[in-house]
A = this chain, B = another copy of it.
Amino acid sequence: MPKKFSYQQLFSFSKNIFLKIGCSNRDAETAATSLLMADLRGVDSHGVARLSGYVRLWEVKRINAKPVIKIIHETPSTATIDGDAGLGLVVAPHAMKVAIKKAKQVGTGWVSVKNSNHFGIAGSHAMMALQDDMIGIAMTNASALVAPTFSVERMLGTNPIAVAIPAGNEPPFVADFATTTAANGKLEILQRKNAAMPVGWAQTKDGEPSTDPHALKDGGALLPLGGDREHGSHKGYALGAIVDIFSAVLSGANYGPWVPPFPAYVAIPENMPGEGIGHFFGAMSIDAFRPATEFKTHMDKWIERFRSAKTIKGEKRVYIPGDMEREWEEERMKEGIPLLQPVIDDLNSLALKFEVKPLYPM
């Protein structure tokens, strides 16, 4: 059984580390909030397990703990933001707030961001729009691990898209997914189990289909949603490409194979065409299309109808996007967040290094 830690403890721990690297109190809280959303919602690969990774990027001066985040271009419904190499965990909520503010003024707001870093889970930022009765959209590019259809080369990141849509009595619809068939985290689970990988998740370094979960580590590539041409991988490739272009070509960030990698020990690509990594955010006020109360009544009906669809044999439920993550969040907020021992050890090394209180299980 993995040990469990309270949300509040992990929040304070992360906040303290962000303070130690020089973040302002407000930024440290924003960053810890964004980071912990991943742990709460069951995306263990994107939460506190990455905290030491962010610190290492700060150590090699690829993350600026005191960024001056600036709007460098804007219109009534758009903005382009320079993240000043800040934590994506801070830059993204800042940009999302700009999108929401514009949506309040002219119906929708759209923000493209350059010169940023990894922003945690996309869903966390998209959900910020919900409290204002808005649809929230968040996406980001990432370093290249994915081969487009027919390509041997890695050209795109896992480039996730999140869309959060408010409802009335029902909880909101929250889709948040990588534009690949499977995330790298799923390959790692199979590696630990020494189990075969389904075809369609990754290819070898020569571009052959593979069932070896080490395929990616061995120089292969993840595959776009769809897996192969016959199963629509050109659609997953197009989606990942759209995320890359909206996030980076529109803002002036790096794109395609030039996106800088998350691990600080991996060299950054040569001749980079932009600055940092890129994100894209949107906020659409429901009232800009129809009265929010009317929309919510229909959204409830939509959700109820889909949730009550007849299931295939052996399955109990048809899920609404966001159902599983919300259930994780409720459970983990109450019963604590489980961490694997290597993650606990890693965090306690940080505690020692930065002289903050180490973790103790619940």
- Contact partner of A312 among B155, B198, B207, CB < 8 A? B207
Q: Which residue of chain B has its CB nearest to the CB of A228? A: B198
Given contacts A73-B289, A173-B241, A290-B251, contact A298 B273 (CB under 8 A): yes
- Which listed residue (B151, B227, B290, B301) contacts A252, Cβ 8 A? B290
A230 in the interface (beta carbon within 8 A): yes
**B232 lies within 8 A of A225 (CB):** yes
- How does the 8 Å CB contact mask read for A182-211 relative to B, with 1 for contact and 0 for none? 100000000000000010110100111000
The yes or no answer to A341 lying at the interface (CB within 8 A) is: no
Chain B residues contacting A177 (CB-CB under 8 Å) are: 232, 234-235, 238
Question: Are B75 and A310 interface neighbours, CB within 8 A?
Answer: no
Closest to A150 in B: B315
A321 within 8 A of B: yes
> Are A77 and B288 interface neighbours, CB within 8 A?
yes
A86 within 8 A of B: no
Which residues of B are found within 8 Å of A112, using beta-carbon distances?
A: 289
Chain A residues 28 to 77 lying within 8 A of chain B, measured CB to CB, are 73-77
Per-residue interface assignment for chain A, residues 134 to 162, with 1 indicating a CB less than 8 Å from any chain B CB and 0 otherwise: 01000000000001111111010000000
Evaluate contact between B302 and A150: CB separation under 8 angstroms.
Answer: no
Q: Closest CB-CB distance, A303 to chain B, in whole Å? A: 10
Which chain B residues lie closer than 8 Å to A179 at the CB level?
Answer: 235
Work out how many copies of this chain go into the complex. Answer: 2
A199-252, CB < 8 A from B: 200-201, 203, 206-208, 225-227, 230-232, 234-239, 241-242, 244-246, 249-252
Least CB distance from A41 to B in Å reads 15
Asked if A309 lies at the interface with its beta carbon under 8 angstroms from chain B, I say yes
- Residue from B155, B244, B290, B312 in contact with A250 in the complex, judged by beta carbons closer than 8 Å: B290
A300-334 vs B: 1/0 string, CB under 8 Å? Answer: 01100110011111010111010000000000000
Assess the A148–B309 pair: CB atoms within 8 A.
yes
Residues A207 and B301 in contact, CB atoms below 8 Å apart: no
A163 on interface, CB distance cutoff 8 Å: yes
Minimum C-beta distance from A173 to chain B (A):
7
Say which residue of B77, B147, B206, B289 sits within 8 Å of A251 (CB atoms): B289
Contact residues in B for A310 (Cβ distance below 8 Å):
151-153
Q: Residue A181 at the B interface, CB < 8 A? A: yes
Residue of B108, B206, B231, B311 near A231 (CB, 8 A) is B231
Does A299 interact with chain B (Cβ within 8 Å)? yes
> When the two chains form the complex, which single residue of B155, B231, B306 contacts A227, counting CB atoms closer than 8 Å?
B231
The reply to whether the CB of A80 lies closer than 8 angstroms to some CB of chain B is yes
Bound state CA distance, A256 and B173, in angstroms?
15
Q: Which residues of B contact A173 (CB under 8 A)?
A: 241, 245
| Contact residues in B for A298 (Cβ distance below 8 Å) | 249, 252, 255, 273-274
Q: Evaluate contact between B249 and A295: CB separation under 8 angstroms.
A: yes
Shortest distance in angstroms between A78's beta carbon and chain B's nearest beta carbon?
4
Query: Which A residues contact B (CB, under 8 angstroms)?
Result: 73-78, 80, 106-108, 110, 112, 135, 147-153, 155, 163, 165, 173, 175, 177-182, 198, 200-201, 203, 206-208, 225-227, 230-232, 234-239, 241-242, 244-246, 249-252, 255-257, 273-274, 284-286, 288-290, 294-295, 298-299, 301-302, 305-306, 309-313, 315, 317-319, 321
- 4 extra interface residue pairs, beta carbon distance < 8 Å, beyond A80-B289, A155-B306, A173-B241: A75-B106, A175-B241, A226-B226, A249-B299
- 5 interchain pairs, CB-CB under 8 A: A110-B284, A182-B231, A208-B312, A245-B299, A249-B302
